[in-house]
Amino acid sequence: MECRKGCGMCCIEPSIVQPLPGMPAGKKAGEHCVNLDLSDYTCKIWGQPEYPDFCRIFKPEPEFCGSTRTEAEQILRFLESSTRPDGRSGRV
Ligand code: SF4
Ligand code: SF4
């Protein structure tokens, strides 16, 4: 599938343990990446040398992205909580 315009949920809902530009300790679940442009939910560093490899590898899939932004939020939030060893959301 094509990445949905105006979504950005994969840059908000999941926790990221790897360092991100501007976020050396990664980010918590529900915290938006500082590289996400909140005016249109696009990545401000896409295509730049500092764009992280793990962001490059992540591809849109209906299984994760759903068919709407709200569905993506729900799916990614559920996956985040269900993959934590303590079963908690760990959200900010
Ligand atoms: S959740 Fe999926 S559709 Fe939304 S921004 Fe990420 S890859 Fe694109
Ligand atoms: S660097 Fe860009 S693509 Fe990666 S999580 Fe941050 S905003 Fe999203």
Write out pLDDT tens, residues 17-48: 999 999 999 999 999 999 999 999 999 999 99
Token digits of residue 57: 């590898």
Task: Of 36-40, 65-69, 82-86, give the lowest mean pLDDT range.
Answer: 82-86
- What integer pLDDT is reported at residue 85 of this predicted model? 61
Question: Is the distance from CB of 31 to CB of 23 less than 8 angstroms?
Answer: no
List the domain boundaries for the chain.
9-83
Report the distance separating Cα 48 and Cα 85, nearest Å.
34
Question: Which residue lies with its CA nearest to atom 8 of ligand 2?
Answer: 11
Element (H, E) at 79: helix 69-83
Question: Which residue lies with its CA nearest to atom 5 of ligand 2?
Answer: 11
Task: Encode pLDDT of 46-63 as tens digits.
Answer: 999 999 999 999 999 999
Residue 82's pLDDT band, with cuts at 50, 70 and 90, is confident
* Residue of 9, 11, 38 with the most ligand 2 atoms within 8 Å of its CB, for mutation: 11
* Distance from Cα 88 to the centre of ligand 1, integer Å: 23
Question: Is the distance from CB of 1 to CB of 65 less than 8 angstroms?
Answer: yes
Residue type, 11: C
Cα 43 vs. chain centroid, distance in angstroms? 10
* Distance from Cα 85 to the centre of ligand 2, integer Å: 24
